[in-house]
Amino acid sequence: VNVSRRRFFQGTAAGGAAVAAGAIGVPALARGDDGGDDEQLVAWQGPRQAGIVTPRTAYGMVASFDVVSDDLPALFGDLTARIAELTQGWPDRLDDIDDPNLPPSDTGELGFDKRNEGRLTITLGLGASLFDGRFDLRGHRPPALIQMPSFPGDNLDSARCHGDLLLLVQSDHMMVTHHALRDIMRRTKGRLEGRWAQPCFQRFEADGGSTQRRAGVADARGLLGFKDGSQNIAPTRDELIFTGAEVEPWARGGSYLALRLIRLKLERWDRLSRTAQEDSIGREKVSGAPIGGREEAEKPTLDKRTPVDAHIRMANPRKPGDERRRFLRRPFVFNNGFDSYGLIDSGSVFMAFCRDLQHQFQAVKERTHGQDLDEYMVAFGGGYFFCPPGASGRGDYVARRLVEG
């Protein structure tokens, strides 16, 4: 049994009294146990994995791995256990510290005091390649999970695409986010092989980071300087976000993720006149109102003042049937310094959670082809993933019913 797994179960036993009713495996230092700030811990267990519809955070890390172990039950069990520990306060961080002859169990960059800040969540996603026959899962691939295609205009780098397993780590501190990734990597050596990772960030305008959305109002801006996600769906729209009876029982209550790493040509964009920028998006830059409208939250009328190739028109022409194509966006932005040419290497980490990749994300992506905005962006990485339902009940872990067969 792996170290983290052992601690996980010890923690459960020792901390049993402090565990919230009905939740298993919440380690001893879980929420509220000494009057700490409950809002800083996000419940990790339940029918949905955390990190999909929970409030957005200021930092993220998307990291893709290839699975190099045959023992998937142990891998997913250990991952879930460690996710529970990391997101609920790292109860074992002092273990082994006193023994000078052992490597410290916690790497230490977050200090050794009790921790409950950062709203850390870690979401697991499965890539189509996990179902390719290496693990005897071939018959169980969720039907919409395919390898992300290269769309017109993409310049995909195979070293930054796809993967068997995705970790979506989110928190309000880059150090917390990075620590979680580092911790999981060192505990899965020989079992997970890092493929690519992209750190990312975001700034919330409305309420300093708690990101409670108002309908029709984006809580953040993208690097183009426009409100990003004004007409995003509410995170309560389960019928558009989570799978149901159309998938195998193990996969019900999961969500497909279209993840696209998109480089933005910011130098060019920044030289466009404000009108040209607004025409490209279809919204006013400052207010976020649709062109010709009064306020951000109003429904775009898409009259002739909005160009035919404006983003908001092509993404959602608001015709019959378009409603069921919508999906939940959870965007971040990134910067990777300069490129080899000396241009700023920044862009979007586009994330769309949906119930069906082809009928929602892919249908919308295909119909936006030719939008003016395409001139200023190019996707270079990412992939399609399936985030299984959350773990709940004693002894459960994410994807258990898949990998135990």
Of 205 and 267, the one with the shorter C-beta distance to another protein is 267
Tell which one of 273, 319, 320, 321 touches another protein (CB under 8 A). Answer: 273
Please report the beta strands in 142-299, taking only residues with DSSP state E, as ranges in sequence order.
165-171, 192-201, 255-264
Of 192 and 266, the one with the shorter C-beta distance to another protein is 266
Task: Determine if 154 is a binding residue for another protein (CB under 8 A).
Answer: yes
Q: How many C-beta neighbours within 10 Å does residue 398 have?
A: 26
Q: Which 158-217 residues touch another protein, going by CB under 8 A?
A: none
CA–CA separation, 83 vs 314, rounded Å?
A: 39
CA–CA separation, 51 vs 119, rounded Å?
A: 10
CA–CA separation, 177 vs 186, rounded Å?
A: 15
Q: Residue 25 corresponds to which amino acid?
A: G
Vertex 361: Cα angle to 127 and 318 (nearest 5): 170
Relative to beta strand 192-201, strand 121-127 is unpaired
Q: If you search the block for the tokens 């916690």, which residue do you land on?
A: 106
Of 238 and 345, the one with the shorter C-beta distance to another protein is 345
Q: Residue 50 corresponds to which amino acid?
A: A
Q: Contact letters (x/-) for another protein, 110-149, by CB under 8 A?
A: ----------------------------------------
| C-alpha dihedral sign at 383, 386, 391, 397 | negative
**The pair of three-digit structure tokens given for residue 60, joined into one six-digit string:** 């993220």
Choose the stretch contacting another protein; rule: CB under 8 A; options: 86-94, 225-233, 317-325, 337-345: 337-345
Q: Which 71-90 residues touch another protein, going by CB under 8 A?
A: none
Give me the least distance between CB of 369 and another protein, in Å please: 8
Q: How many residues of this chain bind another protein (CB under 8 A)? A: 22
Phi (first) and psi of residue 208, to 5 degrees: 65, 25
Q: If you search the block for the tokens 């920028």, which residue do you land on?
A: 277
Q: If you count them, how many residues does the chain have?
A: 405
Task: Determine if 344 is a binding residue for another protein (CB under 8 A).
Answer: no
CA–CA separation, 195 vs 217, rounded Å?
A: 36
Tell which one of 16, 153, 395, 405 touches another protein (CB under 8 A). Answer: 153
Task: Determine if 294 is a binding residue for another protein (CB under 8 A).
Answer: no
Tell which one of 147, 155, 301, 336 touches another protein (CB under 8 A). Answer: 155
DSSP 162: -
Task: Determine if 378 is a binding residue for another protein (CB under 8 A).
Answer: yes
Q: Contact letters (x/-) for another protein, 253-272, by CB under 8 A?
A: ----------x-x-xx--xx
CA–CA separation, 29 vs 373, rounded Å?
A: 48
Choose the stretch contacting another protein; rule: CB under 8 A; options: 114-122, 194-202, 340-348, 390-398: 340-348
Give me the least distance between CB of 267 and another protein, in Å please: 7
Q: Contact letters (x/-) for another protein, 307-336, by CB under 8 A?
A: ------------------------------
Give me the least distance between CB of 257 and another protein, in Å please: 23
Binding site for another protein (CB under 8 A): 150, 152-155, 263, 265, 267-268, 271-276, 279, 339-343, 378
